[in-house]
Structure 1
Amino acid sequence: MTDPGDLRFANRTGRPPGRWITLAGRVLPGIRRVQQQIEPFAAFWEERNRDELARSGPLCVALGDSMAQGIGATTPEGGWVGRLLPVLPGWRVVNLAQYGARVDDVVGTQLPAARRLRPDLVLCLIGSNDLMNPRHQDGVGDRYVSLLDALPRGTVIGNQPGTFAAALQVNGLIDDAARTRGLVPAELRDPRTRHWRGKLSSDRFHPNDAGYAAIAEVFTEALRRIRLAG
């Protein structure tokens, strides 16, 4: 059992949504519906994290952004982290993901919180908010090197399904870390997670239930390769 007071963590970056998202959400109901999930989904995981830390058992910590929180799914547990709960029986799963998180947020905020909890397993999927916004692509390779160097050996890390230059650069770094540092890739270059027809939510950015199910399948296969998934 871990003292819930050790967490000292909020599932929010404190960073407001981008100006375009804010304006679009006022006029486009699909975007507005997804944006309205931000606060309740974060609150769900904060409460669940406290409950998990009050139990005993091996500890898994998830790092990431809004996709780990399940934004765009029907429920918070419909995201890729929530869908892994049934395949990790007996594990406590603490989700430190934050809406809008970028690589620097994982390195500077989420990983320090994870280290305080001394997890037995770390899962990580991050990079969409760096890669999909041209303003944040510059220097993403250096930021990702810092992330990969900081992740503990055995971390299961999702790579990027995109085929543009910045995504390919990140994937090369992940491939190298898998060879040299013992990280375990969750292979999102798989056709199930590379093709998104019918798998996006109403904001056309976050996955829907079908999209998250595909991501969770890939992570489950990675966990089975290291004989952790049930």
Structure 2
Amino acid sequence: MTDAGDLGFSNRTGRPPGRVITAVSRFVPAIRRVQQQIEPYAAYWERRNRAELARSGPLCVALGDSMAQGVGASAPEYGWFGQLVPLLPGWRTVNLSQYGARVDDVLDAQLPAALRLRPDLLLCLVGSNDLMQPRHQEGVGNRYAALLDRLPRGTVVGNQPGTFAAAVQVNGLIDDAVRRRGLVLAELRDPRTRHWRGKLASDRFHPNDRGYAAITEVFGDALRRAGY
């Protein structure tokens, strides 16, 4: 077994939230409420990771951003990964996601930490912070291709529900990697995760409990197809 303290890993990127969202949150309580979840939700997963790694059993590790952290949900365990945990009874479930994470954060920090743990199952959903911010869209295809080439065979990868050009490019890379490298697709172009009425948190960006439940259903379908 590996203790979380041995990983040299934090569920925080070390970057503060963006200047715009920080400024707006001072004047908009609905946004501020969601932003105030960032630190306690990261601390929750770090505590839980330590407890899970101290146990025995097959290991599932999640990689990603604030959506795996559960930011926007009523509690961290109601993010998409938290809601997936009950579908894996007997498994140790470790969450290496980070608020604000981009593809490079998964490549440079989360994936190496995960591989040191030698997981039996790896889940990955990342890209929103690259795709939704124009300044990060440049080169996202190259970064995503590098990530897909390093993910182990059998990794369950969520794609992007958006239909704009950068999302379509990333989804094409994911579709190719699923065929070529034996990855498993969690199909978020599904109607359950393309229509968000009533599924968003008060900041109108992150999912709420219901929105995360829809993402969890898609990942659950992928796990069942893969035999888990």
TM-score bucket of the superposed structures, by smaller chain? over 0.9
Question: What does residue 172 of structure 1 align with?
Answer: 172
Does 1:31 find its partner at 2:31? Answer: yes
Question: What does residue 222 of structure 1 align with?
Answer: 222
Does 1:195 find its partner at 2:192? Answer: no
Shift of residue 189 of structure 1? 0.1
Question: What does residue 138 of structure 2 align with?
Answer: 138
Shift of residue 3 of structure 1? 3.1
Shift of residue 227 of structure 1? 1.3
Shift of residue 4 of structure 1? 3.4
- Aligned amino acid, residue 45 of structure 2: W
SS at match of 2:26: helix
Query: How far apart, CA to CA, are the structure 2 residues paired with 1:183 and 1:144?
Result: 14
Question: What does residue 163 of structure 2 align with?
Answer: 163
SS at match of 1:199: coil
Share of identical aligned residues, percent?
79
Matches within 5 A, 1:1-230: 1-228=1-228
Shift of residue 49 of structure 1? 0.1
Query: How far apart, CA to CA, are the structure 2 residues paired with 1:108 and 1:182?
Result: 22
Query: How far apart, CA to CA, are the structure 1 residues paired with 2:133 and 2:158?
Result: 19
Moved over 3 A (4+): none
Deviations 1:69-100 (A, max 9, x none): 00000000000000011100110010000000
Deviations 1:178-221 (A, max 9, x none): 00000001000000000111110000100000100000000000
SS at match of 1:198: coil
Deviations 1:39-75 (A, max 9, x none): 0000000000000000000001100000000000000
Query: How far apart, CA to CA, are the structure 1 residues paired with 2:227 and 2:119?
Result: 17
- Aligned amino acid, residue 132 of structure 1: M
Query: How far apart, CA to CA, are the structure 1 residues paired with 2:115 and 2:85?
Result: 21
C-alpha contact 1:6 1:117 (8 A) present in aligned 2: no
Deviations 1:133-180 (A, max 9, x none): 000011100000000001010000000000000000000000000000
Shift of residue 8 of structure 1? 2.0
C-alpha contact 1:2 1:56 (8 A) present in aligned 2: no
Structure 2, gaps ≥5 residues long: none
SS at match of 1:61: strand
Query: How far apart, CA to CA, are the structure 2 residues paired with 1:129 and 1:3?
Result: 29
Structure 1, gaps ≥5 residues long: none
- Aligned amino acid, residue 72 of structure 2: G
- RMSD, aligned α-carbons: 0.7
Shift of residue 2 of structure 1? 2.7
